[in-house]
Amino acid sequence: MNPLSLAPQPLSEAGTLLVCVLVLMVPLAIAGLALLNTGLGRSRSAAQSMLGSICILAVAAISYFAFGYAWEGYAGLPQHTVSIAGKPWGWLATGPFFLHGLPLDGSPASLAALLQIFGVALAALIPWGSGADRLRLRAGCLSTVLFAGLVYPLFAHWVWGGGWLAQLGANYGLGRGFADAAGAGTLQVLGGLTALTIVWIAGPRYGKFERGQQPAVFPGHHIVFVLLGSMLMLAGWIGLNGAGALLFAGIAPGTIVLVAVNTVLCASGSLLTAFFVTHYRFGKPDASLSANGWVAGLAASSAICASVTPAAALLIGMMLGGAIPLLTETLELRCGIDDPTGGISMHAGGGLWGLFALGFMGRFGVPVLGQLLAQLAGIATLLGFVLPLAYALNWLLNKLVAFHSGGEGERAGMDMYELGAGAYPEFVIYADEFLPR
Amino acid sequence: MKFTGFLLLLMGWFLVLAAIILLPRQGSRAAFMLAGIAVELLGLVLVTRTYMLENEVSQ
């Protein structure tokens, strides 16, 4: 064990109050993502989707409380280290389980725990959305236990708990170390890559990919949910980015204005570019792909919110928004990824772009190459370590609890199959894709 | 094939770690880190291709 020298600055009374308010805005992002996921799924799976969102929130919160925080820790708290070539590499925190001994009194460590209870629930909803219309509820919940209790704390410790990625600057001269103020990597990319593993393991929905045919289109059932959810997510994201930047990047409370402006500009640039790209490609703007652009912009903003100029945030968002419709299309048409919500492209794609862009546009007062290499090290860790780990864990889990509900679940709808009642019992509002046309 | 793809992902990450630990100069470190990420992308492509073959997804 090695107590770290990366102890965070204590917060003033006003700073503590500000963080409290910002953290309590984060559940709006959870509600928004749940609405977006449900709206982009089928109407006959809507109740299962919303119930699953609440269950996943609950499972994530309990898992993180029980052992997630113990393994993640906080900068300045004790951790396990290994010495490699004379340099300490912190890899796991050594805190007690069940938040034992953590004074819940507004200290930075306690506020970080509260923020991450919500943050990890938000990230856990990403795979739930990507597995929509076929992922069983119990499989989603058990997968969340692994995510919130093991995969997330491990990587989050490396970034936010004073682990080796955070120490790359001090140990190897790589800028300020891997920077991720509000969870573009720890929440968004982690959630997006876990979603990819879920889709790989569960497979596509029946009828999505038929030999020799274009992939079938299963449109979302409620675009108003999708767009309302997207707007709610903005409020939640300002809370997430603001609280994250105060707690993990050590910004001054006044800088929260820059964080909010960058968050809005990045998302706005991304939305409008996605809007115009889809307008150009399809003749009319596509609402769901535009919403994907918006959320991808929010995901990218989590990396850059505290460290770039507003103009740079807008530019980063615009570049991302142009790419998101193409990435979503490529994943579906070229890679056979059946992701009803586009969660993989918007969260993993947006988060990765934000982390990379921060490397060359971030204002850290250090040489650009060093910071860029630190960001690449974090990205390489997400792809090369976290993705295989999440796949292995979910693959084993799938052997115990089958992820895919099978044909009956899809035909009857996940509502009837798992809950025995539909979300809209008085209306028949969908055309059955399984009927011959 | 899928196992090989995930192995490539891990090997690429090890290449990045090795570059950070063993190479003191930023230029050579950057080159090896990019090579590591390229290996990871190769692994990602391999896993995706295997998934498509398993699910008989036609392009």
Q: Using one digit for the tens of pLDDT, what is the confidence trace for A46-84?
A: 999 999 999 999 999 999 999 999 999 998 888 999 999
Closest Cβ opposite residue A373 in set B26, B48, B56: B26
Q: pLDDT confidence of A408, banded at 50, 70, 90? A: confident
pLDDT at position A4: 38
B29: contact with A, CB 8 A cutoff = yes
For chain A, how many helices (H) and strands (E)? 19, 2
Contact status, residue A165 vs residue A185, Cβ threshold 8 Å: no
pTM for the structure as a whole = 0.95
Nearest CA in chain A to B37: A380
pLDDT of amino acid B55: 81
CB A324 within 8 A of CB A371: no
Q: How confident is the model at residue A406 (pLDDT cuts 50, 70, 90)?
A: confident
Count Cα atoms within 13 angstroms, Cβ side, for A372: 13
In the predicted structure, residue A217 carries a pLDDT above the cut 90: no
Question: CB–CB of A338/A205 below 8 Å?
Answer: yes
Residue A92 to residue A357: CA distance in whole angstroms? 28
pLDDT at A424: 87
pLDDT range class, residue A430, cuts 50, 70, 90: low
- Given a cut of 90, is residue A143 above it in pLDDT? yes
Instruction: Check pLDDT > 70 for residue A3.
Output: no
Q: Is the pLDDT of residue A212 over 80?
A: no
**Is A377's CB within 8 Å of B52's CB?**
no
**Structure confidence at residue B59 as a pLDDT band (50, 70, 90):** very low
Average pLDDT of chain A is 93
Write the residue in A212, A384, A391 that is nearest to B12 by C-beta. A384
> Which residues in chain B are closer than 8 Å to A388, comparing Cβ atoms?
6, 9-10
The terminus-to-terminus CA distance of chain A in angstroms comes to 66
pLDDT at A2: 38
Residue among A387, A393, A404 with most chain B CBs within 10 A, to mutate: A387
A260-298 residue pLDDT tens:
999 999 999 999 999 999 999 999 999 999 999 999 999
φ and ψ at residue A176, rounded to 5 degrees: -95, 15
Structure confidence at residue A411 (pLDDT)? 86
Q: What is the DSSP string of A273-306?
A: HHHHHHHHHHSS--HHHHHHHHHHHHHHHHHHTT
Q: Is A336 helix (H, G, I), strand (E, B) or coil?
A: coil
pLDDT in tens, A74-128: 988 889 999 998 999 999 999 899 999 899 998 999 999 999 999 999 999 999 9
Q: What is the ipTM of this complex?
A: 0.96
Task: Please tell me the predicted confidence (pLDDT) of residue A435.
Answer: 52
**Predicted confidence (pLDDT) per residue in A316-334, tens digit:** 999 999 999 999 999 999 9
- Cβ separation A380–B40 shorter than 8 A: yes
- Mean pLDDT within B32-46: 97
CB pairs under 8 A between A and B: 86
Three-state secondary structure readout of A392-425: HHHHHHHHHCCCECCHHHHHHCHHHHHHCCCCCC
Query: Does A437 score more than 50 pLDDT?
Result: no
